[in-house]
Amino acid sequence: MTIAGGISAALYRRATTGETSIIDVSLLSVGAWAMQFGINLAMVTGGPLPEAGSPKHGAARNPLSGTYQTSDGRWIMLTMLQPGRFWAEFVTLIGRPDLVTDSRFDTTEKLMANAPAAGEILAEVLRTRTYQEWTALFETMTGPWAPVQDAWEVSQDKMLRANGFISKLIDSDGEERELVTSPVQFDEVPQELTRAPQFAEHTDEILKELGITGEEAIQLKIAGVVT
């Protein structure tokens, strides 16, 4: 993605100024860029960041961020980065409205300060129902979350399919198949996939377009020039 962005910027520069560019992208530079928040903060403070103890459930300051296990051994990911905003809705939905007024969690500041205790309570509750029960219930929830899926479940994900990121095509044997498409869409139109050509499938067709006769094509094949 960074290479594609760099190429686009270089092409724009050439189109507007006539000057060309050399583009360098490395895994090291991309890795540092992806981790820039922590790296920049360390440089601002002038040393290593303090170690934050990770609770067993949820994040150190947010019980609504992290994975929780269901009664049948599956997992659900919560990604509510504003715990105070979503706390009341979430605990009410899971059948624990008493936690809304619990003195340990009744403000955002208290909830963040007591995040490990809150995470333990949520983990205990979420272990009481199955993966299917929770995912069905969470469909109505405002806060962001996601089921932790295996490869087959991802292939059947209704949002992935509704957005056109799974496409059908006919393979070389005439069988209908499905494949994941490129993540880039243009003009909100799902991509249509076609199969790749088989080895040397179009050799004769291309040679004919180039004006090469059948006899000449045979000789080229015998000589190993084409297949």
CA 7 to chain centre: 23
**What does the mean pLDDT of the chain come to?**
94
Q: Which of these, 220, 200, 223, lies nearest to 211 by C-alpha position?
A: 220
| Torsion (CA) 157, 159, 164, 170 in degrees, nearest 10 | 20
Q: Which of these, 159, 157, 165, lies nearest to 184 by C-alpha position?
A: 165
Q: For residue range 67-97, what is the model confidence (pLDDT) as tens digits?
A: 999 999 999 999 999 999 999 999 999 999 9
Asked whether the beta carbons of 149 and 166 are under 8 A apart, the reply is no
Amino acid at 113: A
Residues in Cβ contact with 96 at an 8 Å cutoff, skipping those fewer than 6 apart = 121, 125
Phi, psi of 218 (to 5 degrees): -60, -45
Domains of the chain, by residue range, sit at 2-45, 65-148
User: What is the fold, at CATH topology level, of the domain defined by 65-148?
Assistant: formyl-coa transferase, domain 3 (3.30.1540)
Asked whether the beta carbons of 138 and 145 are under 8 A apart, the reply is yes
Phi, psi of 139 (to 5 degrees): -60, -30
Q: Is the pTM here over 0.85, yes or no?
A: no
pLDDT score for 144: 97
pLDDT score for 53: 72
pLDDT score for 51: 80
- Distances 140 to 74, 90, 153, 199 between C-alpha atoms, Å: 20, 10, 20, 50
Q: What is the pLDDT along the chain (227 residues), one digit of tens a residue?
A: 899 999 999 999 999 999 999 999 999 999 999 999 999 999 999 999 888 677 899 999 999 999 999 999 999 999 999 999 999 999 999 999 999 999 999 999 999 999 999 999 999 999 999 999 999 999 999 999 999 999 999 999 999 999 999 999 999 899 999 999 988 888 989 989 999 999 999 999 999 999 999 999 999 999 999 98
